[in-house]
Amino acid sequence: MKKTFLLAFPLLALMSSLFSCEKDPEIMTQTVVETDTVYVTQHDTIILHATDTLTLTDFIQDTATTFIVLRHAETSGSGSDPNLSAAGMARADELRRILGNVPLAAVFSSNYNRTRQTAQPTATDKSLNVNIYDPLNQSPLVDEWLSAYRGQTVLVLGHSNTVPALLNLFLGSNEYSNLPDTEYNNLFIATVSERGRAKVLHLKYGD
């Protein structure tokens, strides 16, 4: 069955910069919903109709470093370091599926069961290790990643507060606030030329 994707590209002005930058980046917000038909009603939005031949590789640029950044999937909710629930494991597998054609150079996860388990199916599929990083000390990592993975694509799994914090570091502006605790389907593609010069594409994936 042919699937229809509706992509919305409104351009938003950035907030005042936290870091110096010569040119304000554009923020593109996109919704990708995999259903028979989706209706998007929003002012000043260009709607692009595409078939299921559309893949995330359409948004990867080899002239910059690309970061695919998202929160862990749904958890069982038990204990201080819960595992993924059945729904979370299904979402982790959906992440693996949609990244099937994306050439990842590295996979990073915070050191929690829920993030590692969300990252693992994709890492296994790519024959990569899940590298552990400190989500509360991301600023020095931005420079390290931009140096180590220039022109490549990196997957980063974090949390509802650390994902927006990382995006803000890429952008050099305080554009993103914490994600709602009830939302697990947000996926961000950050195309970063250098710290403070970036574009962020916001997608939804899975149910």
Residue 52 is predicted with a pLDDT of 42
- Helices (DSSP H) in 73-129: which residue ranges? 86-98, 113-125
Residue 77 is predicted with a pLDDT of 87
Tell me the domains of the chain and their CATH numbers. Answer: 56-204 (3.40.50.1240)
Residue 199 is predicted with a pLDDT of 87
- Helices (DSSP H) in 126-190: which residue ranges? 139-148, 162-171
Residue 55 is predicted with a pLDDT of 67
Residue 79 is predicted with a pLDDT of 86
Query: What is d(CA 47, CA 102) in angstroms, rounded to the nearest whole number?
Result: 24
Residue 110 is predicted with a pLDDT of 97
Residue 115 is predicted with a pLDDT of 98
Give per-10-residue mean pLDDT for the chain (207 aa): 36 32 44 35 28 58 87 92 97 92 95 98 98 97 96 96 96 93 92 90 83
Residue 167 is predicted with a pLDDT of 95
How many Cβ atoms are within 10 Å of 174's Cβ, its own excluded? 14
Rounding to the nearest 10 degrees, give the CA dihedral for residues 151, 157, 163, 169: -30
Model confidence, pTM? 0.75
